[in-house]
Structure 1
Amino acid sequence: MTQPKSLDGSANPRAFFGAELRRLRTAAELTQERLGALVYLSGDTIAKVEKTVRAPTEELAQRLDAALGTDGHFQRLFALAEESSRHPQFFALYAELERTARRIEEFASYLVPGLLQTEVYAREVFRAFWPYLRDEELEEKVKARIDRAGLLDSDIEYWAVLDEMILREPGLPPAVMREQLERIASLMRARRIVVQVLSRTAGIHALREGALTVLTLDDSTQVAYTEGPHSGQLLDSQETVRSCRLSYDLVRAAALPPTASLELIESALEEYGT
């Protein structure tokens, strides 16, 4: 059985923000609902910030300092969190949640998911998205992405559905694609991940408009993440997450079984030569 993971307040600045909020709220003998009323938010929102399911804002930091009399403490923590992230602001909170999830389920329609990317493939993606990056900045982004892949060495459960077009990307050198597909295939053979391929013959499906990730956290809470060009959105409304969950399950049901998917990936590998 997968062992639960806890969100360590010392692990990163946003987690520390949440831990400090919980500590100082408790010291002030305020419930989440009472503090929420003081800062014009719901108690549920306070709970989500404490658990690092929702990112704090500068305005919230200011209101917390005023309500708790903390003399700019939360504003300094917020600034630290914003400055220290290795990822784009829209992705930073997701990346933190990803590290504490016990299950990750992804659908990708255009690119190999970040956790599965090779270093060379990731570099090609970043060059396409940010052509003006200096070499050192590019390498920092590549390293941050490859470091994320270390999650697959843990006890996390990872399941991905990939659109078949990802396997047949004509815009990358054959050697890059071969290395990338071999990585996916080797992880599948080692039973570290489960991957299904959505065939080009599947037609219109529930996630035709783009990528989706569903995270299952320690307490069985689920959050969803969607991403577009230079933007992303973490969805924590349970009604919305349920809709995302249904869409993902429908696409997974339409995809090839894992064994047939591995065969298709290995067939695509042969097309890229040796």
Structure 2
Amino acid sequence: MSQAKLAGLLFCAESLVSQMETGTRNMTPAMAQQVDCVFETGALFHRLAVAAQARPGHPDYFAGAVEAEQTAASICEYAPTIVPGLLQTEQYAEAVTWATEPCAARTPWPRPCGPDWSERRS
């Protein structure tokens, strides 16, 4: 579903949907209830919105990284031995997980809602 279509169903600006999607603006519990109705997810988004309001901010150990990120001109990652997360295939991520956590459950990863990524690329 496009951001424009979701914004129309929620009676809000498309920019608000974009901000909620990218995490630059938190979803209110009232908005979360509307999202639950649109996507028929029970009360999933509402529970998450309430939990997010109960624990605002970042953990203390992460505060420095948040502050540095806000003033950074660019963010670079150097990872000579592993493929960065956004570039990993499902099989690669599973292999890395099982190599570093040999006792991890060998169950399939949960699939995101909607079409499979392979269908989106074609």
TM-score by length of 2: 0.49
TM-score by length of 1: 0.24
The structure with more strand, counted as a fraction of residues: 1
Flag the structure with larger Rg. 1
